[in-house]
Amino acid sequence: MRKFLWSLFEVIETVAIAVIAVILVRTFIAQPFLVSGSSLEPNFKDGDYLLVDELAYRFREPSRGEVIVFKYPGDHKTYYIKRIIGLPGERVVVRGDSVVIYGVDGEKKGLKESYTSGMSIQKDIDETLSENEYFVMGDNRDFSYDSRSWGPLTRGDVTGVVKLRLWPFSEVSTFKPAIY
Protein backbone atom coordinates (compact mmCIF):
# COMPACT_ATOMS: atom_id res chain seq x y z
CA MET A 1 0.00 0.00 0.00
CA ARG A 2 2.86 2.34 0.83
CA LYS A 3 4.46 1.80 -2.60
CA PHE A 4 1.17 2.54 -4.30
CA LEU A 5 0.70 5.83 -2.41
CA TRP A 6 4.30 6.84 -3.12
CA SER A 7 3.83 6.09 -6.83
CA LEU A 8 0.57 8.04 -6.89
CA PHE A 9 2.30 11.01 -5.21
CA GLU A 10 5.08 10.94 -7.83
CA VAL A 11 2.53 10.93 -10.68
CA ILE A 12 0.61 13.86 -9.14
CA GLU A 13 3.88 15.74 -8.58
CA THR A 14 4.97 15.20 -12.20
CA VAL A 15 1.60 16.35 -13.57
CA ALA A 16 1.60 19.43 -11.32
CA ILE A 17 5.12 20.43 -12.45
CA ALA A 18 4.14 19.95 -16.11
CA VAL A 19 0.99 22.07 -15.72
CA ILE A 20 2.90 24.85 -13.94
CA ALA A 21 5.60 24.79 -16.65
CA VAL A 22 3.01 25.08 -19.44
CA ILE A 23 1.24 27.96 -17.66
CA LEU A 24 4.52 29.82 -17.15
CA VAL A 25 5.63 29.34 -20.77
CA ARG A 26 2.24 30.44 -22.18
CA THR A 27 2.04 33.44 -19.86
CA PHE A 28 5.56 34.82 -20.13
CA ILE A 29 7.40 33.32 -23.10
CA ALA A 30 5.29 32.14 -26.03
CA GLN A 31 1.75 31.23 -26.91
CA PRO A 32 -0.07 29.81 -29.91
CA PHE A 33 -2.27 32.01 -32.10
CA LEU A 34 -4.81 30.92 -34.70
CA VAL A 35 -5.23 33.29 -37.67
CA SER A 36 -8.85 34.13 -38.32
CA GLY A 37 -9.60 36.11 -41.47
CA SER A 38 -7.79 37.26 -44.58
CA SER A 39 -6.23 40.58 -43.52
CA LEU A 40 -2.66 39.29 -43.83
CA GLU A 41 -2.98 37.30 -47.03
CA PRO A 42 -0.98 36.24 -48.96
CA ASN A 43 1.54 35.79 -46.11
CA PHE A 44 -0.79 34.38 -43.44
CA LYS A 45 -4.01 32.57 -44.24
CA ASP A 46 -7.17 31.84 -42.29
CA GLY A 47 -6.47 28.78 -40.15
CA ASP A 48 -2.69 29.23 -39.89
CA TYR A 49 -1.44 28.25 -36.45
CA LEU A 50 1.37 30.52 -35.27
CA LEU A 51 3.75 30.73 -32.33
CA VAL A 52 3.97 34.21 -30.79
CA ASP A 53 7.10 35.27 -28.89
CA GLU A 54 5.98 37.24 -25.83
CA LEU A 55 9.46 37.58 -24.36
CA ALA A 56 11.27 39.59 -27.07
CA TYR A 57 9.50 42.89 -26.35
CA ARG A 58 10.49 42.76 -22.70
CA PHE A 59 14.06 43.43 -23.88
CA ARG A 60 13.56 45.58 -26.99
CA GLU A 61 11.00 47.71 -28.76
CA PRO A 62 8.93 46.50 -31.72
CA SER A 63 10.41 47.18 -35.19
CA ARG A 64 8.88 48.25 -38.48
CA GLY A 65 7.93 45.28 -40.64
CA GLU A 66 7.37 42.84 -37.77
CA VAL A 67 4.09 40.96 -37.65
CA ILE A 68 2.61 41.29 -34.18
CA VAL A 69 -0.33 40.02 -32.17
CA PHE A 70 -2.08 42.58 -29.99
CA LYS A 71 -5.24 43.32 -28.06
CA TYR A 72 -7.70 45.17 -30.28
CA PRO A 73 -8.03 48.70 -28.80
CA GLY A 74 -11.84 48.58 -29.04
CA ASP A 75 -12.16 45.31 -27.09
CA HIS A 76 -9.22 43.95 -25.09
CA LYS A 77 -10.70 40.43 -25.13
CA THR A 78 -10.12 40.25 -28.89
CA TYR A 79 -6.67 39.69 -30.39
CA TYR A 80 -5.59 40.91 -33.85
CA ILE A 81 -2.57 40.22 -36.02
CA LYS A 82 -1.07 42.98 -38.21
CA ARG A 83 2.25 44.33 -39.50
CA ILE A 84 3.97 47.34 -37.90
CA ILE A 85 4.22 50.20 -40.40
CA GLY A 86 4.78 53.33 -38.27
CA LEU A 87 6.91 53.70 -35.13
CA PRO A 88 6.57 56.11 -32.19
CA GLY A 89 7.10 59.75 -33.12
CA GLU A 90 6.78 59.16 -36.87
CA ARG A 91 4.23 60.59 -39.28
CA VAL A 92 2.44 58.03 -41.47
CA VAL A 93 0.89 59.24 -44.73
CA VAL A 94 -1.25 56.86 -46.79
CA ARG A 95 -2.34 58.22 -50.18
CA GLY A 96 -3.86 55.89 -52.72
CA ASP A 97 -1.75 52.75 -52.72
CA SER A 98 1.42 54.33 -51.33
CA VAL A 99 2.66 54.57 -47.74
CA VAL A 100 5.19 57.23 -46.81
CA ILE A 101 6.85 57.55 -43.40
CA TYR A 102 8.32 60.79 -42.11
CA GLY A 103 10.85 60.04 -39.40
CA VAL A 104 11.21 61.94 -36.15
CA ASP A 105 13.90 64.00 -37.91
CA GLY A 106 11.49 64.76 -40.80
CA GLU A 107 13.30 62.44 -43.24
CA LYS A 108 10.91 60.97 -45.83
CA LYS A 109 10.92 57.18 -46.27
CA GLY A 110 8.75 55.62 -48.96
CA LEU A 111 7.95 52.02 -48.13
CA LYS A 112 8.46 49.40 -50.82
CA GLU A 113 6.08 46.74 -49.60
CA SER A 114 6.59 43.58 -51.63
CA TYR A 115 4.58 41.54 -49.09
CA THR A 116 1.21 43.25 -49.75
CA SER A 117 -1.53 42.19 -52.09
CA GLY A 118 -2.05 45.79 -53.13
CA MET A 119 -4.43 48.49 -52.05
CA SER A 120 -7.23 49.89 -54.16
CA ILE A 121 -9.28 51.52 -51.41
CA GLN A 122 -8.70 55.26 -51.66
CA LYS A 123 -8.75 56.46 -48.05
CA ASP A 124 -6.10 59.05 -47.30
CA ILE A 125 -4.51 58.98 -43.84
CA ASP A 126 -2.10 61.47 -42.26
CA GLU A 127 -1.32 60.36 -38.70
CA THR A 128 1.47 61.56 -36.41
CA LEU A 129 2.21 58.98 -33.74
CA SER A 130 2.93 59.88 -30.14
CA GLU A 131 5.77 58.48 -28.03
CA ASN A 132 4.03 55.20 -27.24
CA GLU A 133 2.06 54.50 -30.44
CA TYR A 134 2.41 52.25 -33.49
CA PHE A 135 0.61 52.29 -36.84
CA VAL A 136 -0.31 48.77 -37.96
CA MET A 137 -1.80 47.48 -41.20
CA GLY A 138 -2.72 44.14 -42.71
CA ASP A 139 -0.91 42.92 -45.82
CA ASN A 140 -4.23 42.44 -47.63
CA ARG A 141 -4.97 46.15 -47.47
CA ASP A 142 -8.41 46.10 -49.07
CA PHE A 143 -9.68 43.57 -46.51
CA SER A 144 -7.93 44.69 -43.33
CA TYR A 145 -9.49 46.45 -40.36
CA ASP A 146 -6.44 48.24 -38.96
CA SER A 147 -4.97 51.58 -37.82
CA ARG A 148 -6.49 53.24 -40.88
CA SER A 149 -9.90 52.56 -39.30
CA TRP A 150 -9.40 52.74 -35.54
CA GLY A 151 -6.18 54.75 -35.17
CA PRO A 152 -2.79 54.04 -33.63
CA LEU A 153 -2.02 51.08 -31.39
CA THR A 154 -0.49 51.74 -27.97
CA ARG A 155 2.59 49.83 -26.82
CA GLY A 156 0.69 48.37 -23.87
CA ASP A 157 -1.68 46.50 -26.20
CA VAL A 158 1.12 44.60 -27.98
CA THR A 159 1.27 40.95 -26.92
CA GLY A 160 4.19 39.67 -28.97
CA VAL A 161 5.86 39.09 -32.31
CA VAL A 162 5.08 36.20 -34.67
CA LYS A 163 8.10 33.91 -34.96
CA LEU A 164 6.92 30.59 -36.36
CA ARG A 165 4.11 29.06 -38.43
CA LEU A 166 3.29 25.61 -37.03
CA TRP A 167 0.31 24.73 -39.24
CA PRO A 168 -0.27 23.74 -41.97
CA PHE A 169 2.71 21.37 -41.89
CA SER A 170 3.42 21.96 -45.57
CA GLU A 171 4.10 25.65 -44.77
CA VAL A 172 6.02 25.44 -41.47
CA SER A 173 8.39 28.43 -41.44
CA THR A 174 10.03 31.10 -39.32
CA PHE A 175 9.42 34.82 -39.82
CA LYS A 176 11.70 37.80 -39.87
CA PRO A 177 10.58 41.43 -40.23
CA ALA A 178 10.24 42.89 -43.72
CA ILE A 179 13.26 44.89 -44.85
CA TYR A 180 12.60 48.30 -46.39
Q: Which of 63, 77, 82, 98 is catalytic?
A: 82
DSSP one-letter code for 152: P
Contacts 24+ apart (CB under 8 A), 122-127: 122/96, 123/94, 123/148, 124/93, 124/94, 124/95, 124/96, 125/92, 125/93, 125/94, 126/91, 126/92, 126/93, 126/94, 127/86, 127/91, 127/92, 127/93, 127/151, 127/152
Q: Which of 3, 36, 38, 39 is catalytic?
A: 39
Q: How far is CA 129 from the centre of its chain?
A: 18
Q: Is 82 a catalytic residue?
A: yes
Catalytic residues: 39, 82
